[in-house]
Amino acid sequence: MDVEERLEEIAQKLAKRVDTKSCFQCGSCVSACPVSRITDGELYHPRRIVRATLEGEASKLLEQPSLWLCTSCHACLEHCPQKVPVSELVQDLQNLASELGVTPDDIVSEVENIIATGWALAPSESANKRRVELGLPPIPLEEKGKKDLHTIAKATELLSRLKKIKEHKAALKAADEAIQEGGEA
Amino acid sequence: MVAAIAKAKKPIEEKPRIGVFVCECGRNIAGVVDCNALAEGAAKLDGVVATKVNKFTCADPGQEEIKRIVKEEKLDRVVVAACTPRMHEPTFRRTTEDAGLNQFFFEMANIRDQGTWCHASDPEGCQVKAADLIASAVAKAHHLEPLEVLKVPVTHTALVIGGGVSGIHAALDIADAGYKVYLVERSPTIGGIMALLDKTFPTLDCSICILGPKMAEAARHPNIELITNAEVTRVEGFVGNFKVQVNQRPRYVDIDKCNSCGDCQTVCPVLVPNNFDANLGWRHAIYIPYPQAVPAAYMIDPDHCLGLSPKECMMCYDACNKAGQEAILPDDTEKIHEFDIGAIIVATGYEPYDPTPITEYGYGVYPNVITAMELERLINAAGPTEGKVIRPSDEAKPHSFAFIQCVGSRDERSNIYCSGFCCMYTIKNALLLHEKYPDAEITIYYMDIRTNFKDYEEFYQRARRAGIRFQQGRPAEITEDPKTHNLWVRAEDMATGKPTKREFEMVILSTAAVPSRGTEDLARVLNVPVGPSGFYMEAHPKLKPVDAATEGVFFCGSAQGPKDIPASVAQGSAAAARALRIITQDEWEIEPIVAVVNPELCRSATGKCGICVSRCAYGAITADPGTAAYVTPAKCHGCGTCVAECPANAITQMHFTDAQIMDQIRALLKDNPEDKIFAMLCNWCSYAGADLAGISRYNYPTNVRGIRVMCSGRMSDQFILEAFRLGAGMVLMSGCRLTETGSDCHYITGNVWAEKRANRMSAYLERIGMDPRRFRLEWVSAAEGDKWATVTTEMAEQLKEMGRDFIVEENERLRPEIEKRITRLTKREKPKPKPKAKAKTKSAKVKA
């Protein structure tokens, strides 16, 4: 099955789960969204994400790193007069992106951090050293917790998903290099 | 009248000669099905001697053709396969009569609204369905009987409920025509919401200046009896013959003696917020809502007065007596009026939506967030600030204003409808503010600007040219600067796509229009339906915009849906004209679809029964023990509930007889019954809802076969059992909504009895081992076309799931038991000398 077919299948599944058709583009989500406010609507724009989905152009959004700026605060959903679950749509798009292996590198490493340490941004050794110097207890990295996290990640197929993403990225990179080499040659 | 029915009951001896006229309705029908094939098929049906296809049967040439063919072919029954009988049955009944036949020798097959319009995606299935519907109409035509219309006397008076601008105009038009009008108003003054507004759009003329004279005219018109502070509490009877009870709360002031000098209020020690000033100003316990109130008399608010009973303060009383008026009546009591009324006009209007639940705008929390109605009172020279617009937080003059549109409208969380006039009133208010404070910065936040009537777009243009800022984008929230009480409005600017945050000194919420408090209660009193938005529902959205489904009741103004002033006035006059059609007559014709008792079969004749009496919501039946039950035709509304409930099958409903309906069922289920869903629909809600599905072009499966009866109360057990005996895949009973909050039944309680019967039927079918999915009861209102499509689609899917073989097998297995049951039910037709004993054995049997 090629990517386009897969996209179509996933888009249909998504349309069944999230009803965006009643969106009348009023912009409540944009003015409610903390990320839109901070980025002045430049980087992350929920109304345009819904619009693109309605226009059947969701695939164009998938490789954009801005898709991952959503904080999942659900303010868009709460403020929507048509009850369009914008944040759920974004989550679905994120899932779709990861399924296709186009998750940005920083998100991948963040997920790996969580599985390995329980922290999205794991405290470094130097940070813990500084804490001790300042009279604060070091942040523990429990062995048992780490083991549990690994079990969960495995059971939820997060590990295999990560593996696929990495493979996909590696393949892309190899292809890029091949093209470049070909170009040079 | 009874003689007319008795005469009508005489059976026709010879075999009927039926003509079937298939309408193409332009491409509406012919675009989906082959009308010639339908006519050819109809020609093969028993009794059909002529068929004809017309482009438009309802047009003059089509009607002339019916008349010609009736004469040429000596037809005595006319069947038209076209649109819904709710649309053109009256037209074709007239044609039938013009052709020299009794008008009830006409039957209609609805192959458009419940055919081609909802099955465009399945033309073959639709063709089969249309043929079945025609066969069903022909089957009924065989049993049609000539009937005489009933004539009832008419009381030459009208009742108008609600004294806003629409009700006032309705009352004045009827009164000017020379007929008596009772104008009942809940509040102490007529005038409604228009009397509270400052200026009107798009002309900016003063609201009370144009309404005031009309209010005064209504009060002094010799044909209008004005009853304020009063509510309609009971309505009985029918078109031309309503009996209405009005409860009038005590005013404690004699309106004839009060000269509104105001001496009373100057001495009154009580001050409470004035609800006529949107609670922004104060009034005393004795007060007049506003200076131009009609009647121009004070009243005492008993909830706040210090001492009416026992008499305590009495300062107003003394002041009034001192002035020599003696107008105050401390012992005033509630008055109950009863009127005989020919026609009723409901003009109960709307009220502004309370935006408190929309918490993101902070109404009720931030003092400088106000509603448009509050602005109307602030900007009004007769208002609490004498026209000065000031901030509630500090009474300072604001320099910047924001208007937010669609507050409580177009919102799934409150009301999904558009209130229609808010765009215009906001533009008006913005222009008024601009006129008052030319330097003020004014922004209107909107999603869409809707200015769709004469001179409205020009008004919008005028506002833009005046420098009012329009920003497209619905604000997500308002926050307040706690020190200055200024407000921050956050909204996307759709033009640039950027989220914006602007500071304003005052924010005005353009709130939705919602049905007046008490709309549902009055709907119940009048036995008329409200639509999904809570406003009264008209009989037809296009062609009967001011008629209620109940004959003799009309709607006008915002009671029927949010409306601006010109539209409300136009509807007031329209409703008056519709009401005058009735009350100017001495007699009014009503459908003779009444119930008639066969005294030979009636159990009451030989003993005691009275079941029909208890089922009739109109008190139309009497059945003293030892005498056969009798239905008073003028009181009978023709629901047929008694017919279905009679244990002796002694009652017949004219034009909806068992014989007619049974043969309709047989015709519909002649071929492939296992694949079909047999549906019974009540005329007022479900049939209209199914029509609406067609009008809205909702597609649903073609295997639904419906028959129309007047009320779900008429849907007899025999019909259901006969359908299953014939092998129907599924049976659906559908009527007006019945919920915990009440019944929408047009015959008050017909659906209550239908539900009881359906529950018994479900239990029985389950007991004999039928899959419970095969019998279903659903409430579908006239506004729920989508629900009709959903329900039938769901049922068709279930039917597919169960599979043909399963249905056929189950039918084979259950047929003997169902046949036994049918025999038992029909056996009751014979008179029982000892009904009591029979009843006992029956119940014993059930127990065993």
pLDDT of residue A3: 61
Nearest to residue B521, comparing CAs of B20, B161, B134, B786? B161
Contact B499 A24 (CB under 8 A): no
Helix residue ranges per DSSP H, chain A: 3-17, 28-32, 34-38, 46-54, 58-62, 75-79, 86-99, 105-117, 125-133, 143-155, 158-184
Q: Which stretch of DSSP H or E encloses residue B755?
A: helix B750-767
Give yes or no for residue A92 having a pLDDT over 90. Answer: no
Give yes or no for residue B146 having a pLDDT over 90. Answer: yes
pLDDT of residue B136: 97
Contact A24 B472 (CB under 8 A): no
More confident residue, B542 or B268: B268
Question: Tokens standing for B361?
Answer: 């705008």
**Residue B204: CB atoms within 10 Å:** 14
pLDDT in tens, B591-641: 899 999 999 999 999 888 999 999 998 888 999 999 999 998 878 889 999
pLDDT of residue B2: 42
pLDDT of residue B845: 42
The CATH class for the domain spanning A3-99 reads mainly alpha
Question: Tokens standing for A99?
Answer: 């399924």
Q: Where are the beta strands (DSSP E) in B134-211?
A: 150-153, 157-161, 180-184, 199-200, 205-206
Q: Which residues of A fall within a CB distance of 8 Å from B500?
A: 31
H, E, C per residue of B334-378 = CEEEEEEECEEEECCCEEECCCCCCHHHCECCECCEEEHHHHHHH
Return the residue of B nearest to A79 by Cα.
Answer: B476
Give yes or no for residue B332 having a pLDDT over 80. Answer: yes
Question: Of A22, A32, A82, which is closest to B476 when you measure between CB atoms?
Answer: A32
Is the CB of residue A23 less than 8 Å away from at least one CB of chain B? no
Give yes or no for residue B844 having a pLDDT over 90. Answer: no
Is the CB of residue A134 less than 8 Å away from at least one CB of chain B? no
For residue B330, count CB atoms less than 10 angstroms from its CB and return exposed for 0-12, middle for 13-18, buried for 19 or more. middle
pLDDT band, very low/low/confident/very high, at B6 (cuts 50, 70, 90): very low
Q: Out of B275-289, B303-317, B593-607, B686-700, which region has the weakest mean confidence (pLDDT)?
A: B303-317
Estimate to the nearest angstrom the gap between the alpha carbon of B422 and the chain centroid. 24
Residues B238-249: what's their mean pLDDT? Answer: 94
As a whole-number percent, the residues of chain B with pLDDT over 70 amount to: 96
Domain ranges of chain A: 3-99, 105-184
Contact A26 B447 (CB under 8 A): yes
**For chain B, what is the mean pLDDT?**
92
Give yes or no for residue B560 having a pLDDT over 60. Answer: yes
For residue A78, count CB atoms less than 10 angstroms from its CB and return exposed for 0-12, middle for 13-18, buried for 19 or more. middle
pLDDT in tens, B356-376: 999 999 999 999 999 999 999
* One-character DSSP codes across A145-163: HHHHHHHHHHHTTHHHHHH
**Under a CB-based contact definition with an 8 Å cutoff, are residues B171 and B218 in contact?**
yes
pLDDT band, very low/low/confident/very high, at A7 (cuts 50, 70, 90): low
Is the CB of residue A69 less than 8 Å away from at least one CB of chain B? no
pLDDT of residue B48: 96
Q: Which residues of A fall within a CB distance of 8 Å from B499?
A: 30-31, 33, 36-37, 40-41
More confident residue, B6 or B712: B712
Estimate to the nearest angstrom the gap between the alpha carbon of A7 and the chain centroid. 17
pLDDT of residue B847: 39
pLDDT band, very low/low/confident/very high, at A10 (cuts 50, 70, 90): low
Contact B498 A41 (CB under 8 A): yes
Give yes or no for residue B529 having a pLDDT over 80. Answer: no
Q: Which residues of A fall within a CB distance of 8 Å from B449?
A: none
pLDDT of residue B763: 96
Residue in B358, B407, B492, B786 to test binding to A, most A beta-carbons within 10 Å? B492
pLDDT in tens, A144-174: 788 889 999 999 999 999 998 988 888 888 8
Q: Which residues of B fall within a CB distance of 8 Å from A26?
A: 447, 473-474
**Under a CB-based contact definition with an 8 Å cutoff, are residues B417 and B410 in contact?**
yes
pLDDT of residue B327: 95
pLDDT in tens, A94-134: 988 888 888 999 899 989 988 888 888 877 888 889 999 99
pLDDT of residue B523: 87
Q: What is the ipTM of this complex?
A: 0.81
Q: Which stretch of DSSP H or E encloses residue B662?
A: helix B658-668
Is the CB of residue A36 less than 8 Å away from at least one CB of chain B? yes
Residues B711-718: what's their mean pLDDT? Answer: 96
pLDDT of residue A72: 93
pLDDT of residue B848: 34
From residue B517, alpha-carbon distances to A54, B159, B187, B245 in Å are: 40, 20, 12, 19
Residues B2-30: what's their mean pLDDT? Answer: 75
Give yes or no for residue B154 having a pLDDT over 50. Answer: yes
pLDDT band, very low/low/confident/very high, at B8 (cuts 50, 70, 90): very low
- For residue A37, the distance in angstroms to the closest alpha carbon of chain B comes to 6
Q: Which residues of B fall within a CB distance of 8 Å from A36?
A: 492, 499
Q: Out of B447-456, B650-659, B831-840, which region has the weakest mean confidence (pLDDT)?
A: B831-840
pLDDT of residue B618: 80
Return the residue of A nearest to B411 by Cα.
Answer: A81
Residues B129-136: what's their mean pLDDT? Answer: 97
Contact B412 A81 (CB under 8 A): yes
| pTM attached to this predicted model | 0.79
Query: For residue B744, which phi and psi values (nearest 5 degrees)?
Result: -95, 5
Q: Domains of chain B, with CATH numbers?
A: 1-149 (3.40.50), 250-332 (3.30.70), 351-514 (3.50.50.60), 595-653 (3.30.70.20), 656-822 (3.40.50)
pLDDT of residue A184: 56
